[in-house]
Amino acid sequence: MNGVEGFMYPNEVGLQWSVLIVLYPFITGLVAGAFILASLERVFRVEAVKPTYRLALLTALAFLLVAPLPLQLHLGHPERSPEMYFTPHSSSAMAMFGYVYLWYLMAVLVLEIWLDYRRNIVLLSQSSKGLLRLIYRIMTLGSNNISERSLAIDDRVGWIVTLVGIPSAFLLHGYVGFIFGSIKANPWWSSPLMPVVFIFSAMVSGIAGVMVLYMAISKLRGQSIDIRCVDTIAMYLFYTFIIDFSLEMLDLIHRIYEADESFRSLNFMVHTRLYIPHIVIQICLGTLTPIILLGITQVVKLKEIVRKRIYSVAGCLTLIGIFAMRWNVVIGGQLFSKSFLGYTTYKMSLVTREGLLVAIFLTILPLVFLWALVKLLPPWSEKTKLPGAVAAS
């Protein structure tokens, strides 16, 4: 049969989960990671990353709004998806999705953003005109009190929400890892390390994503990049990446050393069909290269301009590497037969519901949402408008 090598069970030849299911953990990972970065400033008082605090929150929201779309588009009957809320199956990991998503969206992210922006929203509802004024007035939710005491309460509640948000972010993405890690039928997925690896890879992608976005947006706005901020972010990215890579290597070494019945099949797959996406793109290009680049900036004193360029390259490579990791998990896990006797091929279509064009659209859509959110709720306050000034102060 076309694209099949060896023996596949007859129902296994076509892949069930497509590139859209690759996008889903990639997007939720960015959400969780961006939020963790925001929490650095809010909870752990890492003042240096303050210029990215609001941008990180808005990035998380923009991506979270898109997160369910690839799943909806993948479902055979998307109109039945509300059943997951109304009649969830208590033994299913996937049944948790709706609740985790809603919790994270409404109880954490939207609430925190609203609390943080409330003062600005109230002021904008008074100063803007026309439709914008109406939008801002609705966004105030009738809460127009911006007295010192009121803002202090906002700050305190916001801190608590962030505190709750950190384990929630871990839950959001750890749960995605659990969906894969709990499938005992699939040895490529079945691992108790999977949720942990997913959490750390999420942090890596979110931190890298916000760092790249911050630098790109600063460039577009003609503003100078706060080098102290990106230095700090890069440092966190480097150490998180080391942990993430160590966990993935632990999983790999464990598999190689244990060499159970699936090993020969998986090993063959990694050296043939997954060689480019796994060895070349994920490990060499998307993991080792950025770790080495970031490592250099940690041990060698480089000029500011060089550091910025390294951070840009390392950030982009990291995002490519994490996307490749998601690809290798989702697609790689379906390329071999559960009989361990054969391999199939993933043929991505172009214009179908789960095709390449839709995937590209869903990748761009969060950036469009982010643009709209940034227009509506500018993340650069008076203090952070000139990052250089903040760094100097």
Site mask for another protein (CB under 8 A), range 281-320, x = bound: ----------------------------------------
* 99 is an interface residue for another protein by CB under 8 A: no
Separation of alpha carbons 235 and 227, rounded Å = 12
Hey, is 342 helix, strand or coil? Answer: strand
Among 159, 268, 340, 346, binds another protein (CB under 8 A): 340
Q: Where are the alpha helices (DSSP H) in the chain?
A: 19-42, 53-66, 68-74, 83-86, 97-102, 111-127, 130-139, 148-181, 194-221, 227-258, 263-271, 289-299, 304-330, 332-335, 356-376, 387-392
* 188 is an interface residue for another protein by CB under 8 A: no
* 255 is an interface residue for another protein by CB under 8 A: no
Among 45, 149, 184, 303, binds another protein (CB under 8 A): 184
* 16 is an interface residue for another protein by CB under 8 A: yes
CB of 331 to another protein, least distance (A): 12
Q: First and final CA of the chain: distance in angstroms?
A: 68
Number of residues that bind another protein (CB under 8 A): 39
* 12 is an interface residue for another protein by CB under 8 A: yes
Of 40 and 84, CB closest to another protein:
84
Question: Residue 284: in which H helix or E strand, if any?
Answer: none
Q: Quote the DSSP letter at residue 383.
A: T
What interhelical angle do 111-127 and 53-66 show, nearest 10?
110
Candidates 8-16, 54-62, 103-111, 308-316; binding stretch for another protein (CB under 8 A) = 8-16
* 2 is an interface residue for another protein by CB under 8 A: no
Separation of alpha carbons 259 and 254, rounded Å = 8
Site mask for another protein (CB under 8 A), range 133-172, x = bound: ----------------------------------------
Candidates 1-9, 127-135, 150-158, 276-284; binding stretch for another protein (CB under 8 A) = 1-9
CB of 8 to another protein, least distance (A): 8
CB 320 within 8 A of CB 35: no
Dihedral of alpha carbons 201, 206, 209, 210, sign? negative
| CB burial readout 134-172, b (16+ within 10 A) else e | eebbebbeeeeebeeeeeeebeeebeebbeebbebbbbb
Q: Give residues in contact with another protein (CB under 8 A).
A: 7-12, 16-17, 71, 74-78, 80-81, 83-84, 87-89, 91-95, 97, 179, 182-186, 334, 337-341
